[in-house]
Chain A
Amino acid sequence: MLAVVQFPGSNDDRDLHFALKSVLGAPAALVWHKDAELPAGTRGVLLPGGFSFGDYLRCGAMARHSPLMAAVRRFADSGGPVLGICNGFQVLCESGLLPGALVRNRGLHFVCEFLHVRVERAEAPFLSRARAGQVLRLPVKHGEGCYVAPPELLARLEAQGQVLLRYCDAAGAPVAGANPNGAVANVAGIRNARGNVMGLMPHPEHAVEAAIGGLDGRAILGSLVDAAGAAR
């Protein structure tokens, strides 16, 4: 079972739940942030996009204090897969489950558009359905998605293969013009050192139906569905 966490102010929670359950056919449940524990049988956790607690402080800074986040941390510590999308990525950075931080887009404006990301490593549990070098077309929609990391951290992330997705042009070249927010090294998604926690700014849940956003989001959500199924 996949648990989709609902914070007050989460917006893509229902969309993520719909993508997992109605489109990909995976068992999934919405879980309220005030709950103390994840539902029994949870095999994967997803933190959705949105504006948790309005994001009036730093994005994700309030959500990390929700009761359920302690359970999510224990789940991650025990090796369970945790995927944070957009605001969920921000929550994971604020919680220290992922390194680095997300700050205001360099252009200052909110950006909603479809763009391309290159898969850097096609590994389980988040990208087993993709191939390395594959270019995915996914939407972003955020005002604070500029990933920043000090040089030594970035060097470590690159050396350890923790950068999983990079903004690129349609041909797969990570050029500056393809970067919507000024993220360092065109980083669109990263994982922790252990490989079981991933955060990304693009929204795979808005690209799982051919006539609404295309199918490329399945490469990510489908991989997590596979991983959760295998772990059962």
Chain B
Amino acid sequence: MSARREPRVDGALAREHGLSDAEYARILEILGRTPSYPELGIFSVMWSEHCSYKSSKRHLRTLPTRGPCVLQGPGENAGVVAIGDGLAAVFKIESHNHPSFIEPRQGAATGVGGILRDVFTMGARPVASLDSLRFGPLEDAKQRHLLGGVVEGIGGYGNSVGVATVGGETTFHPCYRANILVNAFNLGIAEVDRVFLARATGVGNPVIYAGSKTGRDGIHGASLLASAEFDAESEAKRPTVQVGDPFTEKCLIEACLEVMAGTALVGIQDMGAAGLTCSSFEMASAAGTGIDLDLDRVPQRAAGMTPYELLLSESQERMLLVAQAGREQEVLEVFRRWDLDAVVVGRVTEGGRMRVRWHGETVVDIPVDPVAKSSPELDRPAREPADLRERQKLDLASVAPESDPGAALEALLDSPNLGSKAWIARQYDSLVQGNTAQGPGGDAAVLRVKRPDGTATRRGLALAVDCNPRWCWLDPYSGTLAAVAEAARNVACTGARPLALTNCLNFGNPEKPEIMWELAEAIRGLGDAASAFGTPVVSGNVSLYNETSGRAIYPTPTVAMVGVLEDWERHAVAHFTEEGRAVVLLGENREELAGSEWLALRRGLEAGHPPAVDLAHEARLHGLLAGLVAEGLAPTAHDVSDGGLAVALAEACLAGPRRIGTRVEVADTIRPDALLFGEAPGRVLVATAAPEEVLRRAREAGVPARAIGRTGGPRLAIGPPGGPAWIDAELARLHGIWADAIPRRLEGR
């Protein structure tokens, strides 16, 4: 008999595993008996919020996921879209929020490792990463520690594994104080006809385990860490955080890509959340097969590991492969060359059952589909927050006008949200693989595309990640529209055509109707904007329970947009490149200050209805920009967003290798602070040597446009026509403030 000492399985133990009584009853019904302890563990992870999307899937189903470019939509490890030249972009964004709060360095590092595996699992070489990070205010020592640790973790892993981190966003707000967000995006390139799926097809085919040995780390990361609220005791969950080994990951990438270049491989899946369990169930379920697994053959880091631990461990850098029968040696040989463990641990079987043996005993014997496919789906009640209308109230007439616009601009540039992120970007290798035409600091990163064989193409990609959580808190629907619109606009500012998107939905506890309402509204906005732009949602991740001691984060639906350039060398940059160029404003200024950074920073108010997004106008803007940039008419194009026109102009002056000033006159009759700092979307600054042609093109495209000034000189001046300037500042001074915004806070200055 078994030498295992395992707890007795009953309803109480199921509850400890995060399973509801109804879910446990369903398990008893499926099995027709009481589950074994490892079986209970399997159900608990497979049916966890993290793995099953049970609260969100009925809403996610409404998203537009198809389009001419889509080769693979949601449901696989990552989305796949055709980008031309017979190549595909494979990408996804995923959260690693709770682990990063508990152990910032390893939490963030393993977040990067996990998203890389999602991408190379599909046959793509990972080429570029982005990160969307949210922290509490840097005045708090704990937040400084978290920021430093997360950045070190992302850099330590990404740099070592040889994948460039080319951009991202980092913002700060008190709502993230006890629940930071770490969303990691990765994109890889594959040949269109060499994309691999997670399928255990072919009865009798060998199932191969490759990579790191299995240890006791990360057990129940998915079910207990990612699918429950935080509280004061959460620090005690540190052992559920995995530890990353980027060197092994690097070798795994190279070995897997080598195996995939051959013909012996049938299917492949990484062991991410819920490890061996999730990967084998998903592969068998997708193929309509079963798998027999022999746990004694699994490479083990510690002695005496139980079946429960072996099945649920989330040790990193592990892959599960199915090869053609008789060709396993070819596959094993590649891993041996890279000094990686690789062993046959099982076989594909008929009959749709997962059977797991350990020490000669069958410890798991359950049907695959009821676990993988019939996970519960919930229709949770949703209710608009009682105070929402109150949040949205803002009477501009009662907001005192800005008395010192120059000081306001300096204060905005000094805020960590708008200040330079060079302190962060500098710690990431943004150059490796030699494709970075525009790295961190632009509106979007621009990459040259190489074929998997290493030869260059003319094709380029633009990548941007965006979300304004304050707007989403004020109105999750229009805030999410704005997030998609901004990500698309950022991509379009490089001259690229927005193609498809991925998203990471970070929300609080879905068991609360108000949170569920926010989630549903955000998904509705995501769908509407994606449809309007023809940019399908091809992958994504939902991160719920982002709240601590009952306090939720602001709804944060992070959107990462991928766009395509026909010629990577013809792209625009966000900064001024030459003196004497005309500055043209595309789009309309509006008297909007609701939800703005200015209102929060200078008036201590987070209120109002976020500015409306005109999706049709945004789409016209995309087309106009693509044409202008492709024809060399707009070497500079920069989105007007957080901080408004004044901050956008300052960024264009400051962000380049050489500071170039400008003098701008705006004739709008709206209140000057709204004109300078209002955040009405749909606006882009362009610098051009041919303003007449740009204005003509804009007219044709139906986009309002006007010349507002000229580049040159060492100052930034903004004012009404002929009148005294509202702002007239020396660039050297602004640069000092902007560049020091984050360093000075980290050094306690």
Instruction: Decide yes or no whether A133 CB sits under 8 A from chain B.
Output: no
- Shortest C-beta distance, B513 to chain A (Å), equals 45
- B454 and A51 within 8 A (CB): no
**8 Å CB contact of B247 from A18, A34, A56, A111:** A56
CB-CB under 8 A for A212 and B448, given A12-B432, A14-B433: yes
Set of chain A residues within 8 Å of B161, measured between Cβ atoms: 11
* Interface residues contributed by chain B, number (CB under 8 Å): 37
Instruction: Decide yes or no whether B673 CB sits under 8 A from chain A.
Output: no
Binary interface encoding of chain B residues 447-462 relative to chain A, with 1 for a CB under 8 A from any of its CBs, else 0: 0101000111000000
- Shortest C-beta distance, A129 to chain B (Å), equals 20
**8 Å CB contact of A212 from B159, B426, B436:** B436
CB-CB under 8 A for A112 and B437, given A17-B454, A53-B247: no
- A110 and B247 within 8 A (CB): no
- B247 and A141 within 8 A (CB): no
- Shortest C-beta distance, B649 to chain A (Å), equals 25
- Shortest C-beta distance, A107 to chain B (Å), equals 10
Set of chain B residues within 8 Å of A206, measured between Cβ atoms: 431, 434
**8 Å CB contact of A8 from B159, B247, B454, B456:** B247
**8 Å CB contact of A22 from B248, B337, B456, B569:** B456
Set of chain B residues within 8 Å of A10, measured between Cβ atoms: 162
Set of chain B residues within 8 Å of A94, measured between Cβ atoms: none
**8 Å CB contact of A211 from B251, B428, B431, B437:** B437
Name the CB-closest residue of A to B447: A212
- B426 and A113 within 8 A (CB): yes
CB-CB under 8 A for A9 and B431, given A54-B246, A110-B155: no
- A54 and B432 within 8 A (CB): no
Name the CB-closest residue of B to A21: B454
- B247 and A11 within 8 A (CB): no
- A8 and B250 within 8 A (CB): yes
Name the CB-closest residue of B to A114: B657
- B427 and A109 within 8 A (CB): yes
**8 Å CB contact of B427 from A11, A50, A111:** A111
Set of chain B residues within 8 Å of A54, measured between Cβ atoms: 160, 245-248, 250
**8 Å CB contact of B339 from A8, A15, A111, A141:** A8
- Shortest C-beta distance, B593 to chain A (Å), equals 37
User: How long is the Cα–Cα vector from A55 to B431 in the complex, in angstroms?
Assistant: 19
User: How long is the Cα–Cα vector from A27 to B430 in the complex, in angstroms?
Assistant: 28
Instruction: Decide yes or no whether A139 CB sits under 8 A from chain B.
Output: yes
- B455 and A22 within 8 A (CB): yes
- B426 and A8 within 8 A (CB): no
Instruction: Decide yes or no whether A99 CB sits under 8 A from chain B.
Output: no
Instruction: Decide yes or no whether B106 CB sits under 8 A from chain A.
Output: no
Binary interface encoding of chain B residues 148-187 relative to chain A, with 1 for a CB under 8 A from any of its CBs, else 0: 0000100110011110000000000000000000000000
Instruction: Decide yes or no whether A205 CB sits under 8 A from chain B.
Output: yes
Instruction: Decide yes or no whether A203 CB sits under 8 A from chain B.
Output: yes
- Shortest C-beta distance, B676 to chain A (Å), equals 32
**8 Å CB contact of A9 from B250, B337, B455:** B250
- Shortest C-beta distance, B669 to chain A (Å), equals 43
- Shortest C-beta distance, B255 to chain A (Å), equals 10
Set of chain B residues within 8 Å of A18, measured between Cβ atoms: 434, 450, 454, 456
- A15 and B434 within 8 A (CB): yes
Kindly name the residue among A14, A56, A110, A139 whose own CB sees the greatest number of chain B CB atoms within 10 A: A110
Instruction: Decide yes or no whether B435 CB sits under 8 A from chain A.
Output: yes
- Shortest C-beta distance, B188 to chain A (Å), equals 14
Instruction: Decide yes or no whether A213 CB sits under 8 A from chain B.
Output: yes
- A9 and B433 within 8 A (CB): no
**8 Å CB contact of A51 from B160, B425, B450:** B160
For window 24-78 of chain A, which residues contact chain B by CB distance below 8 Å?
34, 50-51, 53-56
User: How long is the Cα–Cα vector from A109 to B427 in the complex, in angstroms?
Assistant: 7
- A109 and B432 within 8 A (CB): no
CB-CB under 8 A for A51 and B432, given A22-B455, A112-B426, A212-B437: no
User: How long is the Cα–Cα vector from A205 to B432 in the complex, in angstroms?
Assistant: 10
- Shortest C-beta distance, A77 to chain B (Å), equals 29
Instruction: Decide yes or no whether A98 CB sits under 8 A from chain B.
Output: no
Instruction: Decide yes or no whether A102 CB sits under 8 A from chain B.
Output: no
- B435 and A212 within 8 A (CB): yes
- Shortest C-beta distance, A139 to chain B (Å), equals 6
- B456 and A213 within 8 A (CB): no
Set of chain B residues within 8 Å of A17, measured between Cβ atoms: 454
- A55 and B160 within 8 A (CB): yes
**8 Å CB contact of B432 from A11, A34, A55, A143:** A11
CB-CB under 8 A for A51 and B247, given A17-B454, A211-B437: yes
User: How long is the Cα–Cα vector from A206 to B337 in the complex, in angstroms?
Assistant: 29
Instruction: Decide yes or no whether A19 CB sits under 8 A from chain B.
Output: yes
User: How long is the Cα–Cα vector from A213 to B436 in the complex, in angstroms?
Assistant: 8
- Shortest C-beta distance, A32 to chain B (Å), equals 8
User: How long is the Cα–Cα vector from A15 to B125 in the complex, in angstroms?
Assistant: 14
- Shortest C-beta distance, B580 to chain A (Å), equals 23
Set of chain B residues within 8 Å of A143, measured between Cβ atoms: 159
Name the CB-closest residue of A to B440: A112
- B432 and A141 within 8 A (CB): yes
User: How long is the Cα–Cα vector from A34 to B338 in the complex, in angstroms?
Assistant: 10
Set of chain A residues within 8 Å of B450, measured between Cβ atoms: 18
- Shortest C-beta distance, B128 to chain A (Å), equals 13
Binary interface encoding of chain A residues 101-118 relative to chain B, with 1 for a CB under 8 A from any of its CBs, else 0: 000000001111100000
User: How long is the Cα–Cα vector from A56 to B339 in the complex, in angstroms?
Assistant: 16
- A109 and B246 within 8 A (CB): no
User: How long is the Cα–Cα vector from A56 to B429 in the complex, in angstroms?
Assistant: 18
User: How long is the Cα–Cα vector from A212 to B431 in the complex, in angstroms?
Assistant: 9
User: How long is the Cα–Cα vector from A19 to B434 in the complex, in angstroms?
Assistant: 9
- Shortest C-beta distance, B711 to chain A (Å), equals 21
- Shortest C-beta distance, B245 to chain A (Å), equals 7
- B427 and A112 within 8 A (CB): yes
User: How long is the Cα–Cα vector from A203 to B432 in the complex, in angstroms?
Assistant: 10
- Shortest C-beta distance, B639 to chain A (Å), equals 22
**8 Å CB contact of B246 from A14, A51, A110:** A51
- A112 and B431 within 8 A (CB): yes
Set of chain A residues within 8 Å of B429, measured between Cβ atoms: 11, 110, 112, 141
User: How long is the Cα–Cα vector from A120 to B743 in the complex, in angstroms?
Assistant: 34
- A141 and B159 within 8 A (CB): yes
- Shortest C-beta distance, B532 to chain A (Å), equals 33
Set of chain A residues within 8 Å of B428, measured between Cβ atoms: 110, 112
- B162 and A111 within 8 A (CB): no
- A11 and B162 within 8 A (CB): yes
User: How long is the Cα–Cα vector from A19 to B433 in the complex, in angstroms?
Assistant: 11
- Shortest C-beta distance, A228 to chain B (Å), equals 21
Binary interface encoding of chain B residues 232-263 relative to chain A, with 1 for a CB under 8 A from any of its CBs, else 0: 00000000000001111011001000000000
Binary interface encoding of chain B residues 99-114 relative to chain A, with 1 for a CB under 8 A from any of its CBs, else 0: 0000000000000000
Set of chain B residues within 8 Å of A212, measured between Cβ atoms: 434-437, 448
Set of chain B residues within 8 Å of A110, measured between Cβ atoms: 155-156, 159, 426-429
Name the CB-closest residue of A to B340: A8
Kindly name the residue among A8, A112, A139 whose own CB sees the greatest number of chain B CB atoms within 10 A: A112
- B426 and A51 within 8 A (CB): no
User: How long is the Cα–Cα vector from A113 to B450 in the complex, in angstroms?
Assistant: 23
Binary interface encoding of chain B residues 436-474 relative to chain A, with 1 for a CB under 8 A from any of its CBs, else 0: 110000000000101000111000000000000000000
9 smallest CB-CB distances across A and B, nearest first, come from A54-B247, A11-B162, A15-B434, A51-B160, A141-B429, A110-B427, A206-B431, A211-B569, A110-B155
Given A11-B250, A110-B156, 10 more pairs with CB closer than 8 A? A8-B254, A9-B250, A51-B159, A51-B162, A109-B427, A110-B427, A112-B429, A143-B159, A212-B436, A213-B431
Interface pairs (26), CB distance under 8 Å: A8-B251, A8-B254, A8-B339, A9-B250, A10-B162, A11-B160, A11-B162, A11-B432, A15-B434, A22-B455, A51-B247, A51-B250, A53-B247, A56-B247, A109-B152, A109-B427, A110-B155, A110-B156, A112-B428, A139-B431, A141-B159, A141-B431, A206-B431, A211-B437, A212-B434, A212-B448
